[in-house]
């Protein structure tokens, strides 16, 4: 009898140990949180109205460009603001439109991204794409599984609709596995899953066709002088598109935000973009909120080489300037030496019947770039006068008779130079 109870005890012990192994290696894994990205990110934003709620605080506070955002923090951006969380030089999370996320801490020391509202778009390198990741939203969660061989670089996107509407998960490159209560589904590259809040099977649909940029051409150089008048970017239309997003991403700093523009048209005029080599690309969005893939990238070099030859001559203090006709205006540019760009502006006059202040009566102070370069457009005239003034100085009249221009006083007006037109 004792041997029987001993046998039963050993059997129960084996069952208990076996269940323990089964739970540890199998059951535990199904509920173990997984991580898409690392513990810390760097915030890039184009405004000062982004807010963060730190995991160890109770009140929201301003988040600045370059701040570290950690797992456990919540981040929100208002409408019209762009932001990105940079993970490494090849990986970032874009936050678009009005958006709020929580970088949820998990018990594996990493985390999952909880999308409260808005639009999140991932760009991930191969190492991050290979690992299984979790994206959570107010209606549930999805697990993303990227095939490293098929998708060495992926972009994935989620759009969270408000008011109990469906959630959309889009796959922009590579195939992904979508897991939800109704089962597992493959979302191939170029497709999207519309996930109903009821938990029913998602609807797998095609993404809109991507537009393609026609102008400017790949590799085209855009001189900065044109920017005062603007240059056009034109792309092919996408059927059913209700708006487009155009992005200029600095090609030497892929993790930065760059400049983005939204329009309902198939083209837009760009002004006052900083000189830089850029990657220009555009996507379309349809009425369902589905975004197409990015267009093929177009390399555009926005530069300011019109008057760069003056830099070699600008070895002593003074004004080095030239002028070039362009359509119905002229472009003036050159270098200022011996005067701090942070403390001085350039003011320009063009001579016709009078000396007229340029380019606008209420906006005539032109900043000097940190390297001393300046460039401005002006109305046509037979001569132009250039002044170096104390930054923000407004003590000029709109016009002056010939021979009666203001003189250098050494206080507000530091230097001046008159140059005939067409001296470039």
Tell me how far apart the alpha carbons of residues 2 and 283 are, in angstroms, rounded to a whole number: 77
Cβ 337 vs Cβ 373: under 8 Å: no
Residues of the chain with CATH 2.60.40.10: 213-303
Give 86: exposed, middle or buried? Use CB within 10 Å, 0-12, 13-18, 19+.
buried
Helix (H, G, I), strand (E, B) or coil at 12: helix
Q: How is residue 410 annotated by DSSP?
A: S
Residues of the chain with CATH 2.60.120.1440: 31-206
pLDDT of residue 229: 62
- What stretches in the chain show pLDDT beneath 70? 1-39, 105-111, 126-133, 138-140, 143-154, 161-164, 223-229, 252-256, 272, 275, 303-306, 308-309, 325-329, 421-424
Q: How is residue 27 annotated by DSSP?
A: I
Tell me how far apart the alpha carbons of residues 136 and 106 are, in angstroms, rounded to a whole number: 12
Q: Which secondary structure element, helix H or strand E, spans residue 126, and what is its range?
A: helix 126-130
Please count the residues of the chain.
424
Going by C-alpha positions, the residue among 287, 290, 178, 295 that lies closest to residue 248 is 295
pLDDT of residue 346: 93
φ, ψ for residue 225 (rounded to 5)?
A: -60, -30
Going by C-alpha positions, the residue among 76, 67, 66 that lies closest to residue 102 is 76
Quote the strand ranges of 290-337, DSSP E.
298-303, 318-326, 329-337
| CATH architecture of the domain formed by 310-420 | Sandwich (2.60)
C-alpha torsion 259→260→263→267, nearest 10 = 50
Q: Which secondary structure element, helix H or strand E, spans residue 115, and what is its range?
A: strand 111-124
Cβ 228 vs Cβ 271: under 8 Å: yes
Pairing of strands 111-124, 133-137: parallel
CATH topology of domain 213-303: Immunoglobulin-like (2.60.40)
CATH number of 31-206: 2.60.120.1440
pLDDT of residue 32: 39
- Nearest 5°: the CA angle 164, 169, 170 is 140
pLDDT digits (tens, 9 = 90+) for 241-258: 999 999 998 776 555 677
204-218 burial: b if 16+ Cβ within 10 Å, else e? eeebbbbbebeebee
Cβ 175 vs Cβ 193: under 8 Å: no
Pairing of strands 203-206, 183-187: unpaired
Give me 51's structure tokens.
Answer: 């807010």
Going by C-alpha positions, the residue among 116, 266, 129 that lies closest to residue 189 is 129
């Amino acid at each position: 009898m004792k041997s029987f109870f001993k046998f039963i005890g050993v059997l129960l012990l084996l069952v208990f140990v076996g269940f323990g192994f089964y739970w540890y290696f199998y059951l535990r894994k199904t509920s173990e949180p997984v991580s898409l990205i690392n513990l810390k990110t760097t915030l890039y934003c184009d405004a000062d109205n982004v807010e963060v709620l730190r995991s160890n605080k109770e009140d929201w506070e301003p988040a600045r460009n370059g701040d570290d955002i950690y797992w456990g923090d919540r981040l929100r951006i208002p409408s019209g603001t762009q932001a990105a969380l940079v993970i490494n030089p090849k990986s970032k999370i874009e936050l678009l439109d009005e958006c709020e996320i929580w970088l949820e801490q998990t018990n594996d020391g990493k985390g999952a991204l909880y999308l409260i509202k808005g639009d999140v778009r991932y760009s991930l390198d191969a190492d991050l794409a290979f690992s299984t990741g979790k994206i959570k939203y107010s209606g549930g969660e999805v697990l993303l599984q990227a095939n490293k061989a098929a998708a060495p670089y992926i972009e994935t996107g989620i759009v969270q609709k408000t008011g109990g509407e469906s959630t959309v998960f889009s796959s922009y490159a590579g195939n992904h596995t979508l897991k939800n209560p109704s089962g597992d589904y493959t979302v191939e590259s170029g497709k999207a899953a519309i996930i109903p809040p009821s938990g029913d099977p998602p609807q797998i649909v095609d993404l809109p066709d991507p537009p393609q940029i026609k102008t400017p051409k790949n590799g085209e150089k855009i001189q900065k002088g044109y920017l005062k008048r603007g240059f056009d970017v034109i792309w092919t239309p996408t059927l059913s598109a209700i708006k487009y997003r155009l992005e200029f991403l600095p090609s030497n700093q892929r993790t930065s935000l760059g400049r983005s523009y939204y329009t309902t048209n198939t083209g837009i005029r760009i002004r006052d973009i900083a000189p830089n080599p850029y990657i220009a690309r555009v996507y379309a969005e349809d009425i369902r909120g589905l975004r197409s893939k990015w267009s093929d990238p177009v390399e555009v070099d926005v530069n300011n080489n019109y008057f760069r030859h003056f830099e070699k001559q600008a070895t002593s203090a003074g004004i080095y300037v030239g002028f070039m006709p362009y359509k119905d205006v002229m472009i003036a540019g050159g270098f200022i030496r011996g005067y701090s760009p942070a403390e001085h502006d350039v003011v320009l006059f063009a001579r016709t019947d009078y000396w007229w202040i340029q380019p606008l009566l209420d906006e005539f102070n032109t900043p000097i770039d940190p390297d001393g370069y300046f460039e401005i457009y002006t109305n046509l005239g037979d001569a132009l006068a250039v002044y170096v003034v104390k930054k923000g100085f407004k003590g000029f009249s709109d016009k002056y008779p010939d021979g009666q221009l203001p003189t250098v006083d050494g206080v507000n007006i530091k230097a001046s130079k008159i140059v005939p037109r067409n001296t470039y």
